[in-house]
Amino acid sequence: MSKLTFIVPTFNPKPEIFTKCLKSLADQSLRDWRAIIVLDGPNEDAAKIAHKVFKKIPNHYKVVEIQHGGAQKARNAGRAYVDGHYVVHFDSDCVIEPHAAQAWVDIFDKNPDVGFIYSSYKFFDEKGAIQSEPFDPWLLKVSNYISGCFPIRTELCPTWNESLESLQDWDFWLSAVEKGAKGKYLPGYAFSTSYPTPESISGKGCTPENWLKRMDAVRELHGIPKKEVCVTSLSHKMDGIALAKMIDADYMDRPNDKPSHYKTIIQLGFSLNPGIAGLHAQAWGIEHRKVLFFSREDVDEIYNSTSLNALDEYSKRFNDAYTIFCEDKAAQRILERAGFKATILPFPMVNHDEVAPLPEKPKFLIDSSDKYQHAISVLKRALPEMDIEVSNGITPIDKATGLIHFYVDRAMSSSIKRFLLNGRHVVSNVQQPFAGFLEDKVTDENFIVSMVERLRKLAKAGPNLAGMDYYKKNLNADKLKEVLCASAL
């Protein structure tokens, strides 16, 4: 029994790329493998290529011929010859990276809970790449982010649906997850492939006239409802996904790229920077109800660096066609000065984890603008008994005592809310409940003295349970749901 079996279906392949495909299998660093070449209809030339490439390793391959019936039928036919622990349905126009298969086997062998492994992949001739993302079975029900050319444990491998015209890989991975398979995302690129042509399965399936019908066909097979609300965010994706789960909506990075059933699109974050604004604006179509949450980063950008021309242009456009929300009065005042009509509605956020004990040695993370760097550098020298470091997004919140957060816009931020929801402390110039308000409009000396006193006091306190309970109650999605229901009437 081999470790890994490749099933390679092929129908009238281009000799050059088919040869490269098979050579990449023969040359990989993993030696414990087998390839099943399934000819989807008689093809003497393809068989000759396989025999020539694998001439020196005859025990590593087998050529099987079936009556022409399509790629799914060929993949299913190849399953009868699989004798490995793991199986890969590998397309005949793909070229695997030299060490990809070895990496897959190593992960499988060391992680018995992993059902399948996947990565990103590239197109030939530097025509771009398809990026994947960490495994989330909920997100997989919204749209596919896994190519069919990745390995799965043989006992968890579903049958390919031969009735589908396209999106077969989406159906395949949904079926695998329904069988209990857990995915493992491996960063990087595992293989390269040909760019889809209008005549290819992917090319035909992606056309506007076919896309929605074929998406719905897969949804129906798996009991996935058609959603009318979609959340999107190019700058705060994890928060966007969390919100979509909270309000039972979909999440898409680019919801307006293809036809959909969406009537309302909610976008978290919108930069007015000329190089980015156009991308953010592409989230909506003319037919969509548009809901926009300005983030604290957007408010800070508007306050500090947005041109009057951009403010005039976007405020007129948004006020007429968008429902605009912001976090608090500080953000609302800035947006009003910029010409935007925004309603205060804190962006919903939730934390289901139990509060972790505070670290034995106090640790405070810094999220502040450059204006406060001098004061904070003095603060570090004044408190050698504590770890005070810039937040880099790597240190988990539960490894910190609290957050030091100072910006000139004084608006509530997602980082403050995250710390409070995790039972951590906050010291900031934001005037919100439990946000640890500390006046910064004083001399540096008074500011530093007050900060030192506050941090020493918090270092002796336990978890901030009162703040956690308050924001758990006040950051739910009920108010947003009311807005969406009212707009649907």
pLDDT range class, residue 142, cuts 50, 70, 90:
very high
Q: Are residues 387 and 332 part of one domain? A: no
Q: Are residues 23 and 128 in the same domain?
A: yes
User: Among 187, 219, 251, where does a domain finish?
Assistant: 219
Q: Which residues contact 333 (CB under 8 A, 6 or more apart)?
A: none
Contact 96, 191 (CB under 8 A): yes
Residues 388 and 337 in one domain: no
Q: Are 33 and 165 members of one domain? A: yes
Residues 329 and 196 in one domain: no
Q: Which helix (H) or strand (E) holds 483?
A: helix 478-488
Residue 449 placed within a domain: yes
Helices and strands (H and E) in the chain: how many: 18, 19
Q: Which of 151, 159, 198 is nearest to 74 (CA)?
A: 159
Q: What's 292's domain CATH number?
A: 3.40.50
List pLDDT tens digits, range 423-437: 999 999 999 999 999
Quick: pLDDT tens for 478-487: 989 988 887 6
Residue 325, both tokens: 């929300």
Question: What's the whole-model pTM score?
Answer: 0.90
Say what the pLDDT of residue 197 is. 67
Residue 485 lies in a domain: no
Pairwise CA distance, residues 398 & 311, whole Å: 39
* Residue 162 or residue 354, greater confidence: 162
Q: What percent of the chain has pLDDT over 70?
A: 97
The reply to whether 105 falls in a domain is yes
pLDDT tens digit sequence for 73-93: 999 999 999 988 999 999 999
> Could you list the residue range(s) of the whole structural domain that residue 443 is in?
363-472
Is residue 102 one of the residues assigned to a domain?
yes
Average pLDDT (256-281) is 92
Residue 442's pLDDT is what? 85
Distance from C-alpha of 136 to C-alpha of 159, rounded to nearest angstrom: 22
CB-based contact 261:252 (threshold 8 Å): no
CA distance 215 to 212: 5
10-27: per-residue pLDDT in tens?
A: 999 999 999 999 999 999
Tens digits of residue pLDDT in 195-251? 876 565 565 556 778 899 999 999 999 999 999 999 999 999 999 999 999 999 999
Q: Which of 95-99, 246-250, 441-445, 451-455 has the lowest mean pLDDT?
A: 441-445
Same domain, 237 and 213: no
Long-range contacts of 278-282 (CB under 8 A, 24+ apart): 279/234, 280/234, 282/254, 282/256, 282/257
- Same domain as 108, residue 10: yes
Taking alpha carbons only, the member of 234, 409, 415 closest to residue 306 is: 409
Q: Is the pLDDT of residue 312 over 70?
A: yes
Count of domains for the chain = 3
* 111-124 tens-digit pLDDT: 999 999 999 999 99
Q: Any idea what DSSP says for residue 84?
A: S
Whether residue 179 sits in one domain with residue 115: yes
Q: Are 246 and 214 part of one and the same domain?
A: no
Domain boundary, last residue among 190, 219, 248? 219
pLDDT, residue 198, reads 58
**Phi and psi at residue 78, in whole multiples of 5°?**
-65, -25
Where is the domain boundary, 219, 248, 264?
A: 219
The rounded distance, in Å, linking the Cα atoms of 131 and 150 is: 14
204 and 274 co-located in one domain: no
Task: Answer yes or no: is 483 within a domain.
Answer: no
The predicted structure's pLDDT at residue 119:
97
Give residue 200's pLDDT. Answer: 59
Mean of pLDDT over the chain: 93
- Is the pLDDT at 303 greater than 50, yes or no? yes
Residues 141 and 179 in one domain: yes
Q: Is residue 356 part of a domain?
A: no
The tokens of 351 are what? 């934390």
What pLDDT, on the 0 to 100 scale, is given for residue 351?
87
CATH classification of the domain holding 201: 3.90.550.10
Residue 44 lies in a domain: yes
Contact assessment for residue 172 and residue 148, using Cβ atoms and an 8 Å cutoff: yes
Whether residue 489 lies inside any domain: the answer is no
Q: Give me the pLDDT at residue 489, please.
A: 46
For residues 401 and 289, state if they share a domain.
no
Q: Using the 8-state DSSP alphabet, how is residue 277 labeled? A: H
Q: Which two tokens stand for residue 66?
A: 């079936």
Parallel, antiparallel, or unpaired for β 61-66 and 33-40?
parallel
